[in-house]
Chains A and B, each alone.
Chain A
Amino acid sequence: MADYKKTIGIEIHTELKTKTKIFSNSINGYGKTANSNVNVIDLGYPGTLPTLNMEVIRLALKAALLLNCEINKEMHFDRKNYFYPDNPKNYQITQFETPIGVNGYVEIEVNGEKKKIRIHDIHIEEDTCKSIHYKNHSFLDFNRAGVPLVEIVTEADMHSAEEAMAYVEKLRELFLYADISDCKIEEGSMRCDVNISVSKTAELGTRAEIKNIGSISNVGRAIEKEAARQINLLESGREVEFATYRYDEKNDQTIIMRVKEAGNDYRYFPEPDIPYVVIDDELIEEVRSTIPMLASVRREKYIEAGISLLNANKIIQNRTLSNYLNKFLDSGIDLVIASNILLGDISAYLNRTDLELDDTKLTDAKFIDVVNKLSSGDLNSKVFKEILDDVMEKEQSLDEIISSKGIKIISDPTALKKIIEEVLAENTTSVNDYKNGNTRAIKYLMGQIMKQTKGSASPELVNKLLEEELSK
């Protein structure tokens, strides 16, 4: 059965991170009492009309630019007509004829191989209301009605579960980084529908749509399961039905929801209540300038600066830290040390105090000073730990903090050399042990030197000088 080829297309709905809804100025927010973030527009009251939230246009445009789409500079909206209780007007305002972006692509990497997934279009639409089902009734909460969404539709360019997962992960990373959406798949702010078919020939098979898959790993599992089910059907001489499924995580299987009617009759027509929206070059440039450096670019730059892949990934996962580190990319400071203290002592401090970097007294100048002093040996990690709270909490400069603590740092190599020579002279046994190949003896010698300097010497500098002395 290995000769069956999977063909996969993905539709992703993502809620946009705005303060208010797309067509009304009620709040876009979760966790509130049912039907409390609602006004007459969200309820589809007679006589109400849509307004249009500029932030939605900005975020959708940002997304379209990230997906390398052509922008529809004169766009309108369309009505998609269907009766359903979660659809307050019984039509959804969406974009059908003039989606904000078309013909884009996203680059993914699977097993070291890069591949472009083509984006058919990205369009703007409104979310439906939420419904809870109990026995023979459904209960409607309109808080979600009118929350802004973008829907991203790929071409059927993926051929494995890995590619599909890589695509969803990539899209998530892009949107998170650009602050377009919080992309919480589990909470439903990002929703994946997967279309999949299998075929032995160049002709595509009948596809099934798996709706609303709840996590990226389930995207992979659902694809494998559905492909296996379809292959099984075909092998036993039966046909795949054009239908909609959902993925049941508990039993690891796809379950049929409804057989698709041939050509859903959505009776699309242009929305007369919203005149043409013009996206001019000025707006495009304004929005483009708000796109932050992407994760993949960050990773490349960090690794170029000598940061380990592990640490680079750790920093990228924390966008605040990463944005902070990026401020110093061209400052000439040692980025390895900078990343180490950000991930180490500074992160620990922030966790302990429940503060954000912005809330502390760590100025850019102070941070540069810390990194440079650590690098030159004018400060050592032990002392840094001791003065960390002051660095983070006091207005004072680093020098002021160090001197006010009565800490003296010996960074004069001549002075240190003298102490080292004295220690070596007093510990000839250890020196000989080292020279005879017992490298651990150097640790003892280090300890003795640090004792003599009362911890005021930079361990890195001492280590360097010591090795020089011993190799004489």
Chain B
Amino acid sequence: MGDKLTREEVLHVARLARINLTEEEIEKYQFQLKKLLDDVDKIKEVKLDSNDKLIAPVDEKTVCREDEAGEMLEPEEIMKNVPVSNGNFVEVPVMINE
């Protein structure tokens, strides 16, 4: 156990979150994440009478919208914020999986 996570554990969560870490950060987070995770572990000890859960504190049920079209954006407006665009398309480095 100890007071810090292993380097691999930190790299695993960083990978899950798609966050690149510097060496310095990895070291710092080994301690910090451990401290946080130990703290939330307290929850395991809590005893409950009911399994009811609360997803969001809302009393009302969802009221759906009817199938009617609203306003859409012009491609030019979208591209204003896009870091790399190509004509009407958003460009990214090739998606390796497919």
Contact = CB atoms under 8 A, between A and B. Distances in A.
A84 B72 contact: no
A56 B62 CA distance: 14
Contacts of A136: 93-94
B61 A278 contact: yes
B73 A40 contact: yes
Interface in B58-98: 58, 60-62, 64-75, 78-79, 86-95, 97-98
A461 B86 CA distance: 73
Contacts of A4: none
Contact of A38 (B72, B95, B97): B72
Contact of A139 (B67, B70, B86): B86
- B60, B70, B86, B93: which has the most chain A beta carbons within 10 Å? B70
B16 interface: yes
B88 A33 contact: yes
A275 B61 contact: yes
Contact of A43 (B60, B74, B78): B78
B48 interface: no
A38 B94 CA distance: 23
A276 B61 contact: yes
B67 A19 contact: yes
A57 B61 CA distance: 14
A18 B91 contact: no
B47 interface: no
Interface residues of A, number: 52
B62 A277 contact: yes
B60 to A, nearest CB: 7
A139 B89 CA distance: 6
B68 A25 contact: yes
Give the dominant DSSP class at B's interface: loop
Interface string A128-154: 000111011111111000000000000
Contacts of B88: 33-36, 141
B75 A138 contact: no
B75 A36 contact: yes
A173 B61 CA distance: 34
Nearest to B12: A265
A140 B89 contact: yes
Given A36-B75, A257-B97, A258-B97, A26 B70 contact: yes
Interface stretch (A46-54, A162-170, A219-227, A415-423): A46-54
B46 interface: no
A19 B65 contact: no
Contacts of B55: 76, 270-272, 275-276
Given A19-B69, A25-B65, A272-B56, A133 B89 contact: no
A8 B62 CA distance: 37
Contact of A35 (B90, B93, B97): B90
Give the dominant DSSP class at A's interface: loop
Given A35-B88, A38-B78, A40-B73, A54 B66 contact: yes
A140 B90 contact: yes
A189 to B, nearest CB: 17
Nearest to A211: B98
A92 interface: no
Contact of A257 (B69, B70, B90, B98): B98
Contacts of B42: none
Contacts of A276: 55, 61-62
B61 to A, nearest CB: 5
Contacts of B79: 35
Contact of B89 (A34, A55, A86): A34
Contacts of A55: 66-67
A83 B18 contact: yes
Contacts of B56: 272-273, 275
Contacts of B74: 36
- A43, A132, A135: which has the most chain B beta carbons within 10 Å? A43
Contacts of B90: 35, 139-140, 142
Contact of B65 (A26, A51, A132, A273): A51
Nearest to A40: B73
Contact of B75 (A20, A34, A132, A278): A34
A85 interface: yes
A26 B69 contact: yes
A386 to B, nearest CB: 46
Contacts of A135: 94
Contact of A52 (B62, B86, B97): B62
A197 interface: no
17 contacts: A34-B89, A35-B89, A39-B72, A51-B64, A52-B65, A55-B67, A86-B95, A135-B94, A136-B94, A137-B86, A138-B93, A139-B86, A140-B89, A140-B91, A270-B55, A271-B55, A278-B61
6 A-B pairs with least C-beta separation: A25-B70, A55-B67, A54-B64, A139-B89, A34-B88, A140-B90
